[in-house]
Chains A and B, each alone.
Chain A
């Protein structure tokens, strides 16, 4: 029985649903009220090459990019949070359900504030993941960048928040974008560079090898407005189902969920820094590999992903996963 038919069956039996809901509610309330559980809050910060992230900001020296880049989006999902004790025992954290950022299972970290180039985004921001865990003596933390398979393949506009954000969605087969970092070259060199990537994109779709020239002529505005973009979208690929809007029955070939773990971590004092610069060191954001999506969208066969995904800790094609370098801990920063 697939998940959607489970739901449909439930909808046919409101009484049963209410009973289930009541049980969930009491279990939930019970867990929260227990005195032997403790509140936990993880605090994240977004940076680019060590500088604080902001939608309107231009960043130099990102990877091999000759020129500045700017961001249009910076969001990611966190799930499967667990504490690790000195014996290496893994104790799941029950995430809070606040009706917006967290649904009890998945949390959205959202650093775009809907301003400047991020204006297709949402004004509220969130840099914390909170929940409760049994009281204990813990030394480490683990979590996943991504959405669990069971929640990853529904229709987002019918789900609860934060899984109803259309902007974080691929399709039902592929599920959510676990991470959405939309970047674009800006400034004086941007027009030529982005025009190239745009044309390469068009060439890819048309199977054409014709390249024009002179894109920069007559562009006196100086706004460096980018037609091209370099997007880092992390998500599951190789998912098999009857159609693109049908959920797969079995896990995808490349789940691309990133397990992040930090030993010797104190949530009260330590900050988790998300900085894509380290994973983009070999990337030129003014260029896109021919015949591929703009940037790296996790799909197989994209040269733009070959150096990026391994540095997030994922195997990609023949390249084995390296240690993840997207997130680091800054001690005593809170």
Chain B
């Protein structure tokens, strides 16, 4: 059915722009599942072994917000992908259990189902199902800390009567089993519903509402899509990235670019802690190459870049205006604009002050408050439940991170910080003893386990 019906809709509209996807058609594509999508947007690709169902999505939503998915009950997926922040976490680097520190900036999950490759630069992480193993079981860096502890994880979930029903309804063909298969499939199914397509720009461009955008944002759009700014060569299409696929795509498009953020050795290198694609390919030409991030919901996405090294969009524009970032001192000193591995279209842009305002107005029009407020994507757990009680600390951390961006003096009182520190210490000890006891070859050899954070933070 998939191959038959989709081309018909396309051929019917070959003479025009997007062919419509009717709800009726979508229903046929996904075993009765009805996507909550505007009619102009094709659904994301769905792997054959994980067809969508409302029950599976609902299970996935419960799992996504369940801190018991972490080894110490402290950290849910939503800790680093908070719906209130468009599924970002507002921090420079994301923290794992026990105070473990990553060295990358968490990306927002809006439209993540349309990304045929996950994380900033791991070319082999090609599905949300496979990706789920990384935060659950990865130990480099530790995120949720379950390495070797999957049976304990399954037991925690089985012990909750609510999950008995949810797994049974989500996976009737598997007798409602709690396993790596069902866990990762449900999480992936839920994440495919994280669609942000109702920003003012969407209403203007796809919904035909000419008043949805200010005159300044319209001028900014023109600049964005111009040969002067060249932004759109990488930030292309519905999700403003050239790593993209829909259920209609004949190909997965995946692209990595070095944008000249650094040049620490005059030969193209980024700081050794994170050289992007190079870590996987070992090809020196891949130093500093990262996947193009979407530009949607940037209002909740600060700080920016793979390492969170720009606090504001103004700083991001400064970087592109200069055709690369100049760092004058410190270990990362170098002129990124002369990085020999830089994408040749990052040439530098001479903005006027007015053009800069216009471009920011355009980027602002890509923010989707309805996505942030979408009740269908919200935390399903009641107040005080074990699934959510511990991650309240994490929520405090989020608030602190968000506040720190605008007013670093407004940190939480020292007392609370000290409590958090003590709790982290306890959690760290627990996580360590857990990790020592059992080592899982499944995740040990997985290239998905990205990036050792042995190095001191640069921030």
Report which A residues bind B (CB closer than 8 A): 2-8, 10-11, 14, 17, 20-21, 24-25, 28, 97, 99-101, 103-105, 117, 119-120, 122, 124, 150-151, 153-162, 164-167, 169, 171-173, 184, 191, 194-195, 197-198, 201-202, 204-207, 215, 217-221, 223, 225-229, 231, 243-245, 247, 293-294, 297, 299
Contact = CB atoms under 8 A, between A and B. Distances in A.
Contacts of A227: 338-342, 344
A169 B221 contact: no
Given A101-B250, A157-B236, A205-B348, 13 more contacts: A8-B40, A99-B250, A103-B14, A158-B19, A158-B238, A166-B236, A169-B236, A171-B232, A215-B338, A225-B340, A227-B338, A227-B340, A227-B344
Interface stretch (B4-12, B376-384, B413-421): B4-12
B285 A225 contact: yes
Contacts of A124: 251
A7 B225 contact: no
Interface string B235-251: 01111001010101111
Contact of A202 (B40, B205, B251, B347): B347
B41 interface: yes
B340 A157 contact: no
Given A122-B251, A164-B248, A167-B242, A7 B11 contact: no
Given A11-B40, A161-B250, A243-B218, A225 B268 contact: yes
Contacts of B254: 120
Interface residues of B, number: 68
A122 B244 CA distance: 12
Among B13, B244, B348, max chain A CB count under 10 A is at B13
Nearest to A202: B348
A109 B9 CA distance: 24
A160 B232 CA distance: 20
B39 interface: yes
A111 B242 CA distance: 19
Interface in B1-55: 3, 6-20, 22, 24, 39-42
A165 B251 contact: yes
Given A244-B222, A245-B225, A207 B14 contact: no
A24 B12 CA distance: 7
A91 to B, nearest CB: 21
A66 B29 CA distance: 54
Chain B interface mostly: loop
Contacts of A167: 236, 242, 253, 255
Given A151-B14, A165-B253, A202 B323 contact: yes
Nearest to A17: B12
A184 to B, nearest CB: 8
B345 interface: yes
A6 B324 CA distance: 43
Contacts of B266: 217-219
Contacts of B253: 122, 165-167
B70 interface: no
Nearest to A156: B237
A157 B340 CA distance: 31
B228 interface: yes
Given A7-B19, A11-B40, A221-B284, A100 B250 contact: yes
B18 A244 contact: no
B78 to A, nearest CB: 28
B252 interface: yes
Contacts of B250: 99-101, 161-162, 164
B244 A166 contact: yes
14 contacts: A2-B16, A3-B13, A4-B17, A4-B18, A150-B15, A154-B16, A157-B236, A157-B237, A157-B239, A160-B7, A160-B14, A195-B338, A225-B284, A245-B225
A330 B449 CA distance: 50
B246 A164 contact: yes
B395 interface: no
Interface string B252-267: 1111110000000111
Interface in B346-372: 347-350
Contacts of A228: 344
B357 to A, nearest CB: 18
A299 B18 contact: no
